[in-house]
Copies of this chain bind each other. A is one copy, B any other.
Amino acid sequence: MKQGKLIVLSGPSGTGKGTICKQLLPGADAVLSVSMTTRAPRPGEEEGASYFFTDREKFSEQIRGNGFLEYAEVYGEYYGTPRGPVETHLRAGRDVILEIDMQGAMQVKAAFPRGIFIFIMPPSMAELRRRIESRGSESPEQIRERLRKAEAEIGYLWKYDYVVVNDDLDRAVGDVSAILRTERLRVNRAAEGILDRFQRETV
């Protein structure tokens, strides 16, 4: 059984990587990693679906036990990708998608240099501002801060394998689907199984 592939979808906040992920998953033949967080559940969020919810003490313990592929503290709360489920899926030959921020992606790249790293790019700074503003959840100062951060983060593009511009959602989902499909066609991944079947059917 071949190992699954780790696929990392990342990009500045507000590029729509979460929306792409949601549209992608039904047809993707891959599992989405569920993050763990210390922040309180919001209405409608379900344990194990949106996040695994936990407390600071347990989170810290799991950090010390090398139990995260990546983690970060954001506005005083911890967020992280639990290592165990990801490694179990990969060993079972299933592809795993991580939808994480860019700091997290760079931590994962250090541990999984052969993962597939996809950068989701906003079409322009103007459009990114429009999207963040339309959420209506942040102060003008927070919005300026997010945009400054996004501009800096775009320089990390070169650390990724693929870049997908999210100017049209259907096209962006199609692009990511094509990447997933293509990765399964690589000779070093697919050839053994194909040759096995071929030889069985020849006899």
Contacts and interface: CB of A to CB of B under 8 A. Distances in A.
Interface stretch (A22-30, A39-47, A70-78, A152-160): A152-160
23 contacts: A121-B194, A122-B198, A124-B197, A124-B198, A125-B201, A127-B201, A154-B195, A154-B198, A157-B195, A158-B187, A158-B191, A160-B187, A162-B185, A162-B187, A163-B185, A163-B186, A163-B187, A165-B194, A175-B181, A178-B178, A178-B181, A179-B182, A182-B183
Contacts of A1: none
A122 B175 CA distance: 27
Interface of A: 119, 121-127, 154, 157-158, 160-165, 174-175, 177-179, 181-183, 185-187, 190-191, 194-195, 197-198, 201-202
**In the assembly, how many copies of this chain are there?**
2
A152 to B, nearest CB: 13
Contact of A157 (B158, B187, B197): B187
A201 B198 CA distance: 52
Contact of A126 (B181, B182, B201): B201
Given A123-B201, A154-B195, 7 more contacts: A121-B194, A123-B198, A126-B202, A161-B187, A162-B182, A174-B181, A182-B182
A164 to B, nearest CB: 6
B163 A198 contact: no
B187 A182 contact: no
Nearest to A165: B194
A161 B177 CA distance: 19
A90 B195 CA distance: 33
Instruction: Give the top 7 A-B pairs by smallest Cβ distance, nearest first.
Output: A124-B201, A182-B182, A125-B202, A178-B181, A178-B178, A162-B185, A178-B182
